[in-house]
């Protein structure tokens, strides 16, 4: 008898919609994807929304292609992961009352700037742990309260993005804790939505479905979804949720072991039993979210990273058409530490209050592009060291090593500099799909293939490369 150990993961990202089949060894059996992008809000064309019908159509098409490539009798369960914060209101018949406002929409910018009219930003951060980004879910609830009170009145519940697609798969409504932790209206200590915060912003507490823990079976594939997706009717659908939390778990990270996800932005996070969410943490750019496991918190901060390298490639190496990054790295490896006095301040992201933007200092007539590129790598490695210290203070732990995943982990010079600047070994994880893997492990456990997600993870053969500080 064949073992049922194939998990189907619906993964909605900001640029790609994917459906992936993955087995209990972490092997990708089939994968299909379609591009994703925001659309103009039909009611306010200058604003941006996610077209749920379009995304669902693409998910169904991708699912049909994946199912055609695998043995359907081996499917054990299904789950959905997406980016954080976004969602919308539904009525009691399951009708979506307004499009999903995208985190890329600027309609909520002024709301977060004026959040003090509801409650102080310090109190809000202290309870929720989430930095005051304008795109946080709380800003969208306030927008509904201020601009669309009639929709709030008609609504019965608010669903986050993964829950919307789980609802389309099962007909059941259930939010999850990992998405709740990104909202800025969750109480970190109680691991649930905050009645205090929701009351202060005048949003009815009863209109938010209480979150379930990752690994909870929330329903089964219904007949309508089965026709659309080609998934067998009756397959369990398991709650997972926010992609970041499952990428951390899928990387193999244990407690107090920071994980660096290196891409256009670098996100440094740790699974910790403790957290601090005071003024010092807010000033250091620390966000704390709920881990996929009760009793743990995901403390993290982020900064733009490979986006700056791409800027350097475009501006300084534009004539190199083949193997450009190898050319850049090889040249920078010949530059001594300190870059002959060239220094980069990597504040390339859109100016925050008091931020004057990125700077290149110490240029002379003899300065080379190799010096500038190495100076960028050294500056970003120093930023990682700052982030490491901030996490240790917030979580009350000492780093022994850092796991590194993502496209930025392929740069050998950068990896060595990261180890040198942080003073701890860097462990490069050779698994491209840590979000999908992490989510699938919770499905394996929920469907009886392992006693826990941790036990399911122990079956994964992680290939690691260790970079020691020089």
- What is the band of 1 on the pLDDT scale with cuts at 50, 70, 90? low
Domains of the chain, first to last: 6-245 (3.30.420.40), 252-430 (3.30.420.40)
SS (H, E, C) 182-213: CCCCEECCCCEECHHHHHHCCCCHHHECCCEC
**Radius of gyration of the chain measured on its C-alpha atoms:** 23
Dist CA 259 CA 264 (whole Å): 16
| Beta carbons within 8 Å of 99's beta carbon, 6+ residues apart | 41, 42, 43, 49, 50, 51, 52, 88
**3-state SS class at 408:** helix
Residue 2 banded pLDDT, cuts 50, 70, 90: low
How far apart CA 80 and CA 227 sit, in angstroms, is 18
Residue 176 pLDDT class (50, 70, 90 cuts): very high
Position with higher pLDDT, 432 vs 326 = 326
d(CA 355, CA 373): 22
Q: Per-residue pLDDT averaged across 195-218, rounded? A: 96
Give the pLDDT score at 351: 42
In the prediction, which pLDDT does 430 show? 82
d(CA 168, CA 57): 11
State the average pLDDT over residues 148-167. 98
Q: How many CA atoms lie within 13 A of 32 on its CB side?
A: 15
Q: What's phi and psi for 422, nearest 5 deg?
A: -85, -25
Q: Is the pLDDT of residue 356 over 80?
A: no
pLDDT of residue 42: 97
Give the C-alpha distances (Å, rounded to integers) separating 468 from 11, 149, 362, 389, 408.
34, 57, 30, 18, 17
Q: What is the pLDDT of residue 310?
A: 92
Nearest-angstrom CA–CA distance, 159 and 89: 6
Per-residue pLDDT reduced to its tens digit, 291-320: 999 999 999 998 989 889 999 999 999 999
Which pLDDT does position 265 carry in this prediction?
84
Give me the pLDDT at residue 74, please.
97
8 Å CB contact between 222 and 78 = no
pLDDT, the chain, mean: 95
Query: If you average pLDDT over residues 4-8, what whole number do you get?
Result: 96
What's the pLDDT at 358?
87
The predicted model gives 406-431 an average pLDDT of 94
Provide the pLDDT for residue 407: 84
What confidence tens digit (pLDDT) does each residue in 63-92 have? Answer: 999 999 999 999 999 999 999 999 999 999
Whether the per-residue pLDDT at 431 is higher than 90: the answer is no
Share of the chain above pLDDT 70, in %: 98
State the pTM of this model.
0.91
pLDDT digits over 330-350, tens only? 999 999 999 999 999 988 764
Could you tell me the pLDDT band of residue 209, with boundaries at 50, 70 and 90? confident
Percent of the chain scoring above 90 in pLDDT: 90
pLDDT on residue 385:
97
As a whole number of angstroms, the distance between CA 400 and CA 402 comes to 7
What's the pLDDT at 278? 93
**Is the pLDDT assigned to residue 352 strictly greater than 50?**
no
pLDDT in tens, 97-132: 999 999 999 999 999 999 999 999 999 999 999 999
pLDDT at residue 355 greater than cutoff 70? no
List alpha helices for 1-156, DSSP H: 52-67, 109-113, 121-128, 137-147, 149-154
The answer, yes or no, to whether residue 137 has pLDDT greater than 70, is yes
C-alpha span between 186 and 309 (Å, rounded): 36
Range 456-467 average pLDDT: 94
């Amino acid at each position: 008898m064949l073992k049922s150990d194939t998990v189907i993961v619906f993964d909605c990202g900001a640029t790609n919609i994917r459906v992936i089949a993955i087995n209990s060894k972490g092997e990708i059996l089939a994968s299909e994807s379609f591009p994703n992008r925001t659309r103009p809000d039909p009611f306010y064309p200058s604003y941006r929304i996610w077209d749920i019908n379009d995304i669902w159509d693409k998910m169904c098409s991708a699912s049909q292609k994946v199912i055609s490539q695998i043995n359907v009798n081996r499917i054990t369960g299904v789950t959905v992961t997406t980016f954080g914060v976004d969602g919308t209101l539904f009525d009691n018949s399951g009708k979506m009352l307004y499009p999903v406002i995208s985190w890329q929409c600027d309609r909520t910018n002024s709301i977060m700037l004026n959040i003090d009219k509801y409650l102080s930003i310090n109190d809000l951060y202290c309870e929720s742990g989430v930095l005051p980004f304008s795109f946080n879910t709380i800003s969208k609830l306030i927008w509904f309260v201020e601009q669309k009170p009639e929709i709030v009145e008609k609504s019965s519940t608010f669903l986050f993005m993964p829950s919307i697609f789980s609802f389309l798969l099962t007909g059941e409504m259930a939010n999850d804790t990992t998405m709740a932790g990104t909202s800025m209206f969750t109480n970190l200590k109680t691991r649930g939505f905050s009645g205090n915060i929701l009351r202060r912003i005048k949003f009815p507490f009863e209109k938010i479905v209480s979150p379930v823990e990752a690994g909870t079976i929330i329903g089964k594939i219904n007949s309508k979804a089965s026709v659309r997706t080609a998934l067998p009717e009756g397959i369990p659908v398991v709650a997972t949720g926010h992609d970041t939390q499952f990428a951390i778990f899928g990387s193999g990270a244990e407690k107090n072991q920071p994980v660096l996800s290196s891409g256009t932005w670098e996100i440094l996070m740790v699974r910790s039993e403790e957290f601090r969410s005071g003024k010092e943490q807010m000033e250091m750019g620390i966000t704390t979210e709920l881990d996929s496991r009760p009793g743990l918190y995901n403390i993290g901060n982020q900064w733009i990273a490979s986006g700056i390298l791409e800027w350097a490639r475009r501006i300084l190496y534009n004539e190199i058409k083949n193997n450009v990054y190898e050319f850049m790295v090889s040249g920078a490896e010949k530059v001594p530490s300190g870059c002959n006095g060239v220094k980069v301040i990597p504040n390339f992201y859109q100016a925050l209050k008091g931020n004057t933007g990125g700077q290149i200092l110490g240029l002379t007539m003899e300065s080379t592009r190799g010096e500038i590129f190495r100076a960028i790598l050294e500056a970003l490695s120093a930023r990682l060291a700052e982030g490491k210290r901030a996490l240790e203070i917030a979580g009350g732990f000492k780093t022994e090593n850092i796991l590194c995943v993502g496209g930025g982990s392929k740069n050998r010079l950068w990896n060595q500099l990261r180890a040198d600047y942080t003073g701890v070994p860097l462990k490069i994880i050779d698994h491209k799909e840590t979000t999908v893997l992490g989510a699938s492990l919770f499905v394996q456990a929920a469907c009886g293939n392992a006693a826990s997600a941790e036990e399911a993870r122990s079956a994964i053969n992680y290939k690691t490369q260790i970079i020691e500080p020089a």
